[in-house]
Homo-oligomer: A and B are copies of this chain.
Amino acid sequence: MFDINPSHSSPIWVQIEEGVRRMISLGALKPGDPVPSVRDLARTLRVNPNTVARVYQRLAEAGVLAVRRGEGTYVADDPAQPKKAEKSEKLREAATAYAGTALAVGATADEAAAELERSYERLSREHRRKA
């Protein structure tokens, strides 16, 4: 599936939410596909079921997942994409954070760009592998 870093500063539920969205963006999860049950994913990621449940609820509310109570949770038929404005904002915010730490450790723009490319490659590959 994907990995979680409990010692990372960003909350676990955010990491899980992004993980699921990535899987869908990359096509590792397609419309109609079932996602792991709350308890299963919690066990796999070694987190509390409540944390996963919260993410599924958020994603269902956002139109990304469809919940069939008592049966399971599935990728929505037409999974909602972030609105253009929201996408831009989040992208800009994340880019600022990355540029900020890159500058703080004394990395040049080229070094930062190269490392970004490698990360993109790696994440894409990992998700496609487990599709």
Contact = CB atoms under 8 A, between A and B. Distances in A.
Interface string A100-125: 11111111010111011111101110
Contacts of A106: 25, 81-82, 87
Copies in the complex: 2
Contact of A8 (B17, B97, B112, B115): B97
Q: How large is the interface on A (under 10, 10 to 19, 20 to 34, 35 or more residues)?
A: 35 or more
B97 A97 contact: yes
A53 interface: no
A41 to B, nearest CB: 17
A100 B96 CA distance: 14
Interface of A: 8-11, 14-15, 17-19, 21-22, 25-26, 81-82, 86-87, 90-107, 109, 111-113, 115-120, 122-124
8 contacts: A9-B11, A22-B100, A81-B106, A87-B107, A91-B101, A92-B115, A100-B119, A116-B116
